């Protein structure tokens, strides 16, 4: 039971809400009571507790007012307390009959909680001084540990018996834990004390707290007992922040913030405020980070620190809205003469901001930022993959794809090599290395970089980066045909974003919907494009347009597909235009207007040849085949099938079987057509790509082939996304506790889901999962 949940610190609220959404099979229930619905506890079942009806509200009021009360005063109390039982009981206490009878004790300016707190203060004033001191110690100690509180009061010369008047008055009670009647009573006790009295009880609590068992609370009390500045306390807080940073969460930022407040030197305050802001940003608390950056700017910052402030502010704003004008470039220019590494990192972020701005960033934005980034100092030695990334992006946006491709291939190779050794840097750069790898058609880089980034984000508890890593890993699963695994990661990403408040990553869910070909997929793609336009995310508009083209290709609406693909290709969006070119060529060929695809094919050939992977060259051969005839087309289709079979992404192999089969049918080679169309249908149906599977089914029927849908249980097609993810992890050998640790579930919940999986698949043990689930689903993490 968590009462007054609105007063929980952010970190605790995030954790508790996250756990509450995942409790399923455990004999555990969580109940949160809060003043206002929603907020941090969205997506939990809620019940609004309203005030007592007027007739029922008279009963608690009569229990504390045992004399005749003027009807007008009674009506006023009933109206102003709005049926709140606590207010009805507490408001009249401490007021004399004369004050109540005339209504003179009711202060107009106070809201109900303030009046209740004022009532607690009046009752507190009537208690002995030793009792008030005892209660102040209890109010200052958040754990409610009665043994610790008794040790602290003993150091202040207050006997344990001093609590008895407060217990008799019903203000607090002592059992396993010491508990106030209401948090407003605790607030009244603490706010009524002077600053000198508060420091004294915090000092006593610090002395009474064992530094070996609970160093965090001891340091916290020491910090609040310090009347001015104290570097010894600051040092202790910084050491604890380092420990807390390893665990993740907001505690490190809280310790550093308090350390900043106790720092006497203005320059030192600025340095510690900047460190606290960085910790808050990494913990997924952007509002706190921005507040701390303001504190940092109030101090005398060096040129280097000013650059870091500008850079971190740009990153934080970007995390909240995901696209702004590339303000990070200001941080880069400001610190270029002082810190080459920071300057180059700031220019990377500036280029990334311009990439996400896309077509909405104004004409020539990317080229302008790239020219500015060319002024960045040379990177430090030894060279980092990030430095090569900056150089490659500058070449790409200033000179073009052909000139940049050799550099970008080496960049991806270096990131793949360094990802196991420096997972944190790989995780932080994924937002740019992913679209670069997609532009280079590098399926190996996409797979390995997302895998390492996701693992690093999980292990570090990096709530700012984890949704991004989950999103990009989900996209890799979509391309591999693991739609259920992708859906499970998307669901996990959404649940984290709801508690951190960072901006929504819609890329993977839009991609999944497009490939699934849901009934309203075209409308969903249009809505995604309109949402991206409103948010100022031009690159997302390009992505939505190409995905809409894919939906129309799946449905056989080739004229509409061509229109959307052409609009997508109007702007060269990193990581999206290559896919749009593929959809444009297929739409033009199937629409009977191959001339519309000529320019697109030349652009695709430049990219695919530069990429040089089987995925790249397979997509090129497929696109050329669509625009060819006779033996040339046949050979190109065969090449495409062979190359894509060696790639990691099965969805495009399935679509190549589909267009090859369609071409063979038109060539009156029915037997050969059936082979490829049947393969396409079985693959697409197994993935869950319903619209493309229907297109393959129609073509098969046109050859005279009867189509039977594969048994759903054989592919696990009726499993929920979470069940599918758990089943695959169990099949891959993970135990229930290991699965639970990865998915933030308890072993009991994992066991519950597996029992449902077994029933749906018609199996009895984990060993049978290997045959019950398709082989292509391996590697679903």
Residue 477, C-beta contacts closer than 8 angstroms, at least 6 positions apart = 483, 485, 486, 489, 780
Pair of tokens at residue 38: 């929603």
| Cα angle 355-576-329, degrees, rounded to a multiple of 5 | 10
Query: Contact 423/458 with Cβ under 8 angstroms?
Result: no
CB atoms within 10 A of CB 192: 17
* Helix axes of 401-418 and 423-439: crossing angle, nearest 10 degrees: 150
* CA atoms of 666 and 662, how far apart (whole Å): 6
Q: Which residues of the chain have pLDDT under 50?
A: 102-110, 322-338, 712-715, 775-780
**650 touches 480 (CB < 8 A):** yes
User: Who's near 93: CB < 8 A, 6+ residues apart?
Assistant: 64, 119, 122, 123
Pairing between β-strand 178-180 and β-strand 172-174 as defined by DSSP bridges: antiparallel
Q: What is the pLDDT of residue 43?
A: 73
Spatial contact of 518 and 537, defined as CB atoms under 8 Å apart: no
Tell me if 742 sits within 8 A of 722, measured CB to CB: no
Handedness of CA 294, 296, 301, 306 (dihedral sign): negative
Q: Which tokens go with 298?
A: 């109030």
Q: What are phi and psi of 382, to 5 degrees?
A: -70, 150
Phi-psi region at 271: left, alpha or beta (left = phi > 0; alpha = psi -120 to 50): alpha
d(CA 324, CA 354): 8
Backbone dihedral angles phi then psi of residue 734, each to the nearest 5 degrees:
-80, 140
Among 489, 553, 514, 377, smallest CA distance to 722 is for 489
Place of tokens 């009934």: 519
DSSP 447-462: HHHHHHHHHHHHHHT-
Render 257-297 in DSSP notation, one character per residue.
HHHHHT--SHHHHHHHHHHHHHHHHHTT-HHHHHHHHHHHH
Show the tokens assigned to 475: 């996209």
Element (H, E) at 179: strand 178-180
**What's the CA gap between 408 and 388, in Å, rounded?**
8
Model pLDDT, residue 247: 56
To which residue do tokens 């996701």 refer? 454
Contacting residues for 139 by C-beta, under 8 A, at least 6 apart: 180, 186, 187, 189, 190
650 close to 485: Cβ distance less than 8 angstroms: no
Q: Can you tell me the distance from the alpha carbon of 680 to that of 658, in angstroms, rounded to the nearest whole number?
A: 5
Which pLDDT belongs to residue 323? 43
Q: What is the DSSP string of 391-411?
A: HHHHHHHHH-HHHHHHHHHHH
User: Which strand (E) or helix (H) includes residue 187?
Assistant: helix 183-192
User: Structure tokens of 40?
Assistant: 């941090």
Fill in the DSSP letter of residue 471: H
């Amino acid at each position: 039971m968590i009462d007054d949940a609105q007063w929980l610190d952010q970190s605790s609220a995030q954790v508790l809400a996250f756990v509450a959404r995942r409790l399923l099979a455990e004999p555990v229930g969580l109940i949160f009571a809060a003043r206002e619905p929603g907020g941090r506890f969205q997506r939990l079942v809620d019940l609004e507790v309203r005030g007592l009806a007027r007739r029922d509200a008279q009963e608690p009021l009569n229990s504390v007012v045992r004399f005749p009360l003027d009807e007008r005063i009674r009506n006023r109390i009933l109206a102003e307390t709005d049926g709140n039982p606590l207010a009805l009981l507490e408001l009249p206490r401490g007021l004399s009959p004369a004050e109540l009878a005339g209504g003179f004790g009711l202060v107009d300016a106070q809201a109900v909680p303030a009046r209740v707190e004022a009532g607690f203060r009046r009752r507190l004033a009537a208690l002995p001084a030793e009792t008030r001191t005892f209660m102040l110690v209890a109010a200052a100690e958040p754990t409610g540990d009665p043994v610790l509180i008794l040790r602290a009061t003993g150091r202040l010369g207050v006997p344990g018996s001093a609590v008895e008047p407060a217990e008799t008055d019903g203000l607090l009670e002592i059992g396993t834990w010491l508990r106030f009647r209401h948090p407003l009573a605790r607030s009244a006790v603490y706010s009524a004390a002077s600053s000198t009295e508060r420091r004294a009880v915090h000092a006593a609590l610090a002395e009474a707290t064992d530094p070996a068992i609970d160093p965090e609370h001891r340091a916290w009390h020491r910090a609040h007992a310090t009347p001015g500045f104290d570097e010894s306390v600051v040092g202790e807080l910084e050491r604890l922040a380092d420990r807390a940073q390893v665990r993740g969460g907001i505690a490190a930022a809280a310790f550093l913030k308090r350390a900043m407040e106790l720092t006497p030197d203005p320059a030192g305050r600025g340095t510690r405020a900047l460190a606290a802001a960085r910790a808050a940003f990494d913990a997924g608390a952007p509002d706190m980070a921005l507040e701390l950056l303001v504190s940092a700017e109030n101090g005398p910052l060096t040129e280097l620190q000013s650059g870091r402030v500008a850079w971190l502010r740009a990153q934080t704003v970007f995390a909240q809205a995901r696209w702004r004008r590339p303000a990070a470039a200001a941080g880069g220019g400001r610190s270029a003469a002082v810190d080459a590494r920071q300057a180059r990192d700031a220019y990377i972020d500036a280029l990334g901001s311009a990439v996400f701005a896309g077509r909405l960033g104004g004409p020539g934005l990317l080229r302008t930022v790239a020219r500015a980034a060319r002024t960045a100092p040379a990177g430090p030695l030894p060279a980092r993959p990030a430095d090569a990334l900056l150089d490659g992006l500058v070449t790409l946006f200033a000179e073009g794809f052909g000139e940049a491709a050799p550099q970008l291939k080496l960049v991806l190779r270096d990131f793949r090599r360094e990802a196991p050794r420096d997972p944190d840097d790989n995780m932080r750069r994924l937002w740019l290395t992913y679209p670069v790898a997609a532009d280079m058609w590098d399926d190996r880089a996409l797979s390995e970089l997302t895998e390492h980034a996701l693992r690093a984000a999980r292990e570090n508890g990096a709530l700012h980066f984890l949704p991004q890593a989950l999103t990009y890993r989900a996209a890799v699963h979509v391309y591999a045909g693991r739609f259920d695994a992708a859906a499970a990661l998307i669901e996990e990403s959404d649940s984290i974003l709801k508690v951190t408040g960072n901006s929504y990553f819609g890329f993977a869910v839009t991609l999944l919907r497009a490939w699934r070909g849901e009934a309203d997929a075209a409308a969903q793609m249009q809505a995604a494009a309109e949402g991206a336009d409103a948010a100022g995310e031009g690159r997302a508009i390009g992505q939505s347009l190409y995905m809409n083209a894919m939906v129309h290709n799946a449905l056989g609406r080739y004229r509409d597909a061509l229109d959307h693909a052409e609009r997508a290709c109007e702007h060269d969006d990193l990581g999206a235009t290559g896919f749009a070119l593929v959809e444009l060529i297929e739409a033009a060929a199937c629409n009977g207007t191959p001339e519309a695809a000529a320019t697109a094919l030349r652009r695709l050939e430049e990219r695919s040849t530069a990429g040089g992977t089987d995925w790249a060259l397979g997509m090129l051969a497929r696109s050329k085949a669509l625009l060819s005839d006779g033996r040339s087309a046949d050979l190109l289709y065969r090449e495409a099938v062979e190359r894509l079979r060696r790639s990691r992404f099965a969805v495009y192999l399935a679509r190549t079987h589909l267009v090859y089969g369609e071409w063979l049918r038109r060539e009156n080679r029915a037997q050969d057509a059936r082979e490829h169309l049947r393969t396409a249908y079985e693959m697409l149906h197994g993935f869950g790509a319903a619209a493309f599977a229907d297109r393959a089914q129609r073509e098969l029927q046109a050859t005279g082939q009867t189509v039977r849908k594969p048994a759903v249980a054989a592919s696990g097609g009726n499993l929920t996304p979470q069940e599918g993810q758990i089943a695959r992890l169990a099949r891959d050998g993970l135990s229930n506790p290991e699965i639970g640790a990865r998915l933030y579930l308890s072993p009991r919940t994992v066991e519950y889901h597996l029992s449902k999986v077994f029933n749906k698949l018609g199996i009895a043990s984990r060993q049978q999962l290997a045959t019950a689930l398709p082989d292509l689903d391996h590697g679903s993490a």
